[in-house]
Amino acid sequence: MELLYTIGAGLAILGAGGAGIGMGIATGRASEAVGRQPEASGKINALFLMGCALAESTAIYGLLVALIILFVSPNA
């Protein structure tokens, strides 16, 4: 049964990898957008930071679920 909890925690933390990939793509696209229209860098930066914050919160939720799975046992 412990093995299943470990596998579940590993699957829950996969969200962190997805969030990292998403933030990398967003950074690249934001850099391209600023390169094309430097005068709009303020709006682009604001949207980029909001998107990265949402992606990072997804990774934190995945970490939280993984920690709950690992350290809160149903037999306690």
Domain boundaries, position 23: 2-70
Answer whether residue 76 is part of any domain.
no
What are the tens digits of pLDDT across the range 35-51? 999 999 999 999 999 98
Domains in the chain, number: 1
DSSP readout, 19-73? HHHHHHHHHHHHHHHHHH-GGGHHHHHHHHHHHHHHHHHHHHHHHHHHHHHHH--
Is 46 within a domain? Answer: yes
Tell me the CATH number at 62: 1.20.20.10
Residues 6+ away with beta carbon under 8 Å from 54: none
The number of angstroms, rounded, from the C-alpha of 51 to the middle of its chain's C-alpha atoms is 10
The reply to whether 75 falls in a domain is: no
Q: Give percent above pLDDT 70 in the chain.
A: 96
pTM: 0.71
Question: How many Cβ atoms sit within 10 Å of the Cβ of residue 2?
Answer: 8
